[in-house]
Amino acid sequence: EAQVTQNPRYLITVTGKKLTVTCSQNMNHEYMSWYRQDPGLGLRQIYYSMNVEVTDKGDVPEGYKVSRKEKRNFPLILESPSPNQTSLYFCASSPLGQGDAKEQYFGPGTRLTVT
Amino acid sequence: AQTVTQSQPEMSVQEAETVTLSCTYDTSESDYYLFWYKQPPSRQMILVIRQEAYKQQNATENRFSVNFQKAAKSFSLKISDSQLGDAAMYFCAYRGNGGSQGNLIFGKGTKLSVKP
């Protein structure tokens, strides 16, 4: 089954304790992205990757890191989480290239609480 | 920079009735794509419908259809014969076809309630 998986689905942590949220897709997509969703703000892009070893900042990259060492994986790293990073996080992937609209496939979301 | 605006934070519709959700966007690009995503209480993001800007014909998917007005930069979603399962957050999204062609820009969402 074609899917994007995220782990963990729920996480409660304390300020300053490094954490990683994993994201994996099995569709051989070039493009992957991380979003955070906050009430009243919609989804905002954190980082994205156009292919292996190619990453770039989105609209709200502060406090986050990413890496893309393999095509299927795109982990999100919070080196020193703070309470303002409490949010719902989504990973997404899509193919690239010209042609028909390429929808993004979303993971199930990770609910992160930083106390 | 492109922006997407959903002016209706909340909407309500009676079961079996029709409702229209509004979306406007701003862009200087001529080639782009527009999407409506549904987010039910499970929080999963589900693609409802997509529209390619170069296509004049409005997209339709069963009870869901769009009114795409390219000159006015408007992309509204019409839900016909509303069902209880349509209750969700709906997000309008824009994707350009330029350098960062994968990036989706979302509106802030419209919460749709369906009354039995």
pLDDT by residue (tens digit) across B21-31? 999 999 998 88
What pLDDT, on a 0 to 100 scale, did the predictor assign at position A52?
93
Name every residue in A having a CB less than 8 A away from some CB of B. Answer: 31, 33, 35, 40-45, 48, 50, 56, 58, 88, 90, 92, 94, 96, 98, 100-104, 106, 108-109
The strand pair at A110-114 and A10-13 is best described as: parallel
Backbone angles phi, psi at A87, to 5 degrees: -175, 175
Cα(B21)–Cα(A103) distance, integer angstroms: 20
B5 touches chain A (CB under 8 A): no
Residue B112 has pLDDT above 90, yes or no: yes
Substitution target in B104, B105, B110 with the highest count of A β-carbons within 10 Å is B104
Kindly give, in sequence order, each residue whose CB lies less than 8 Å from that of residue A13, ignoring residues fewer than 6 positions away. Answer: A19, A81, A112, A113, A114, A115
Query: d(Cα B100, Cα B62) in Å, to the nearest integer?
Result: 31
Q: How far is B109 from chain A (nearest CA, A)?
A: 6
- pLDDT value of position A105: 92
Residue of B38, B43, B111 for testing the chain A interface, max A β-carbons within 10 Å = B43
CA-atom Rg of chain A in angstroms? 14
Per-residue pLDDT reduced to its tens digit, A34-51: 999 999 899 999 999 999
Q: Above pLDDT 90, what percent of chain B?
A: 81
**Contact (CB<8Å) B108/A41:** yes
Q: Do A33 and B102 touch (CB under 8 A)?
A: yes
Partner-chain residue, chosen from A40, A43, A109, that has the shortest CB–CB distance to B91: A43
pLDDT of A99 higher than 60: no
**3-state per-residue secondary structure call for chain A:** CCCEEEECCEEEECCCCCEEEEEEECCCCCEEEEEEEECCCEEEEEEEEEECCEEEECCCCCCCEECCCCCCECCEEECCCCHHHCEEEEEEEECCCCCCCCCCEECCCEEEEEC
Write out the two tokens for A106: 């979303």
Residue B84: DSSP 8-state? G
Spatial distance between the Cα atoms of A113 and A81, rounded to a whole number of angstroms: 10
Is the distance from CB of A2 to CB of A103 less than 8 angstroms? no
A74-78, B52-56, B86-90: range with lowest mean pLDDT: B52-56
Contact B50 A109 (CB under 8 A): no
Q: Identity (one letter) of the amino acid at B60?
A: T
Mean pLDDT of chain B: 93
